[in-house]
Each structure stands twice: as structure tokens, then as C-alpha cells.
Structure 1
Amino acid sequence: MRLSEFWALVEQEFGAGYGAVVTRTQTLGSLGGRTADDALGQGEQVRTVWEAICRDMDIAPEHHHLPDLPAREQR
């Protein structure tokens, strides 16, 4: 997972403004009590951080991935 995909998922789930607050302030037990921003800054894998957000914040499984783009938008 690329960092751009991570931010797209955060925005999709929480909205742009609140998503930034969540990653900056929400401590996650799955990351040893670190925030997503701290974990990413310390070199944690992007996918690991997103999975921690999903687990700790009870994100619905159908929201764990970006939706598929229609064929013409993939070009």
C-alpha cells in the first residue's frame, strides 16, 4: 500500500478534515499507543498503520479498501 492510498482511505472513512485529526490525535493500541502519524513517522509500514486504524476504530470490512474505479477512470 502506498502512502497516497492510505490518505485516500482515511479521507474516505473520516473526511479530509476529521481524518487529519484522527491520524494526529487518536492513539491506537495496535500500534503500542502511538498515533498513526507517529507510527508512520517512525517508519511503520503504511498497511500496518491502516490495519491498526481499522481494527482499533471498528471500521467496517467493506471500507478497508478503496472502491474499484470504473474501467474508463483507470486509464
Structure 2
Amino acid sequence: MRLTHFRRLMDDEFGTVRAGSIARDHVFGALGGRTVEQALEDGDEPRDVWRAVCAEFEVPVERR
């Protein structure tokens, strides 16, 4: 998954403003206590970060 696709999925699921807030401010246990932005900056695959977001926010399977 490309980073642009990841960003589009975040925006589509949460809306642009909330997606940005989640990415910057929400700390995910599944990402080792990091935010989305920190995980991506550290080189985590966007696909893996998306999976962590989906699990945390209980995104329905059909939208994962």
C-alpha cells in the first residue's frame, strides 16, 4: 500500500480533519505506543499502520 492510498483511506473513513487528528494525536498500543505519524516516520509499512487503525477504531471488515 502506498502512503497516498493510506491517507485516502484515513480521510474516507474518518473525514479529513479527524483523520489528521487521529494520525497526530492518538497513541496506538499496536504500534508500540506511537502515533500513526511516528510509525510512518519510523518506516512502518502503511498497510500495517492501517490494520492497527482499523483494529483500534473497529472499522468494519468491508472498509478495511
Relative to the length of structure 1, the TM-score reads 0.82
Q: Which blocks of at least 5 consecutive residues in structure 2 are unaligned?
A: none
- Tell me the equivalent position of 1:32: 32
More helix per residue: 2
Shift of 1:33: 1.1
Runs of 4+ in 1 over 2 A off after TM superposition: none
After superposition, the C-alpha distances for 1:28-49 in whole angstroms (9 at most, x for unaligned) are 1110111000000111111010
Q: Which blocks of at least 5 consecutive residues in structure 1 are unaligned?
A: 65-75
Counterpart amino acid of 1:52? A
- Tell me the equivalent position of 1:10: 10
Pairing 1:1-75 to 2, within 5 Å after superposition: 1-64=1-64
Number of residue pairs the alignment of both structures matches = 64
Give aligned-pair identity as a percent.
38
Shift of 1:16: 0.6
Counterpart amino acid of 2:35? T
Residues in 1 aligned to 2:22 and 2:12: alpha-carbon distance in whole angstroms? 13
Relative to the length of structure 2, the TM-score reads 0.95
